[in-house]
Amino acid sequence: MDNLFNFIADYTRYVLKGGKMFYAWMGMLALLIVGMLYVFYLQNTEGLIVTGMTSQIHDGLYLANLVFLVGVAAGAVTIVFPAYVYHHEGMHKVTVLGEMLAISAVIMVMVFVFAHMGRPDRLWHMIPPWGIYSFSSMLGWDVLVLNGYLILNFIVGFWYLYSKYTGKPVNKKIFMPLVYLSIVWALSIHTVTAFLVAVNPARPMWFHSMMPIRFITTAFAAGPALIILAFLIIRNTTKMWIEDSAIKLLTTIVIACLGIAIFLTLSEVVIELYARTEHANSLYYLMFGLHGLTRLVPWFWSSLVLMVGAFILFMIPAFRNNMKLLPIPCAMAFVGIWIEKGMGLIVPGFIPSPIGEVTEYYPTLVEWLMTLGIWAFGFFVLTILLKGAIGILTGDVKLAGSKAGEAALSGSPRTAASA
């Protein structure tokens, strides 16, 4: 127990230390978090009328970010799977960093759920078995599997870090089954999130069985794209070196999944618009506008340009293999999928309504500030988690008298697996 307290204390002391850039980064995030708290106060005193959501469109920017971030959380499995199943040497050294990203992403998802509720005091209604919506609502199931994924990544990630800190190996008979369970669970969280929108027969744009496949492919493109960006920042700003082999494997995964995601999107365009029935009105509104209403049209074409442009750049070796140019297609893919999974999927599903009403939606300043604040909170948490994890992996944070530093610096896959 003393070692655990020492681990917490040393971890906390390490993450609180930093240079001017670190404190400036954390200070900027803190200001955005304060803004988030203010608009959250507005929402709870004046109601959701301060947002752009209406009775016709009751899910907007918040649910769009929720859906996208579930994919980012699930994308962490693209590190865990090759590291533990295929024993990829480069991935083994950074697996825990992917788990820290998954923890941060799920926390952001939970905060978006909280922000989206008109009555946050009724959040307990989604908690099984007491909540009346815990099993009857797909959102309740989604929150349930997300909490399970959060707990799994927290246990696996911090157990691994604790073993590095103390220099003592983990019990692989318990640890490895948890790792494999987290791999399977990663697929389940985005599948259930896809069901959240796909089980609505009154929304033709969502009501098809390919929705889970689309969700998983975009998740395994956006998640690794963000991880690559994080890895490149870590390589340039810390003394921890992340091997090119790990980044190149993630790039290969992004290329494959992004290509499949683009193919599925374009296939849906052809199938829906070829016959041009009333069921295609949502997609037609998104692409070209409907009855003179065109607010979402720029979003769709921007997303398509970014995703296709990123895919083309990924296919060019000069971009794919150059660590200075690689962030460009990664950022393009990440933003393009954010638009496609968010504003390009959630909002047009409500337009027109089941009775044919065409009501446009656009986020208000309150929604944008809330969204920025939640993302800032997520990156605040992610910075703390990654900084502490890097400190342990590089041996800067270790138990006095242990061999944790030498084990961390050796970085061999055998050592990582046994830890």
Residue 407 pLDDT grade (very low, low, confident, very high; cuts 50, 70, 90):
very low
pLDDT at 356 over 70: yes
Q: Can you give the pLDDT at residue 59? A: 86
Q: Can you give the pLDDT at residue 84? A: 85
126-148: average pLDDT: 76
pLDDT in tens, 148-189: 999 999 999 999 999 988 888 888 899 999 999 998 998 888
Q: Can you give the pLDDT at residue 381? A: 95
pLDDT in tens, 84-122: 888 888 888 888 898 999 999 999 999 998 888 877 777
Torsion of CA 301, 232, 65, 41, to 10 degrees: -130
pLDDT at 418 over 60: no
218-234: average pLDDT: 91
Residue with tokens 């301060």: 50
Domains along the chain? 2-418 (1.20.1630.10)
Q: Can you give the pLDDT at residue 134? A: 63
% of the chain surpassing 70 pLDDT: 94
pLDDT at 414 over 70: no
Q: Can you give the pLDDT at residue 416? A: 36
Q: For residue 227, which of 255, 244, 249, 250 has the smallest C-alpha distance?
A: 250
pLDDT at 401 over 70: no
Mean predicted lDDT score pLDDT of the chain:
86
pLDDT at 263 over 90: yes
Q: Can you give the pLDDT at residue 127? A: 72
* HEC-encoded secondary structure of the chain: CHHHHHHHHHHHHHHHCCCHHHHHHHHHHHHHHHHHHHHHHHHHHHCHHHCCCCCCCCCCHHHHHHHHHHHHHHCCHHHHHHHHCCCCHHHHCCHHHHHHHHHHHHHHHHHHHHHHCCCHHHHHHHCCCCCCCCCCCHHHHHHHHHHHHHHHHHHHHHHHHHHHHHCCCCCHHHHHHHHHHHHHHHHHHHHHHHHHHHCCCCCCCCCCCCHHHHHHHHHHHHHHHHHHHHHHHHHHHCCCCCCHHHHHHHHHHHHHHHHHHHHHHHHHHHHHHHHCCHHHHHHHHHHHCECCECCCHHHHHHHHHHHHHHHHHHCCHHHHCCCCCCHHHHHHHHHHHHHHHCCCCCCHHHCCCCCCCCCCCCCCHHHHHHHHHHHHHHHHHHHHHHHHHHHHHCCCCCCCCCCHHHHHHHCCHHHHHHC
- The answer to whether 353 and 359 have CB atoms below 8 angstroms apart is yes
Residue with tokens 């390009």: 344
Residue 383 pLDDT grade (very low, low, confident, very high; cuts 50, 70, 90):
very high
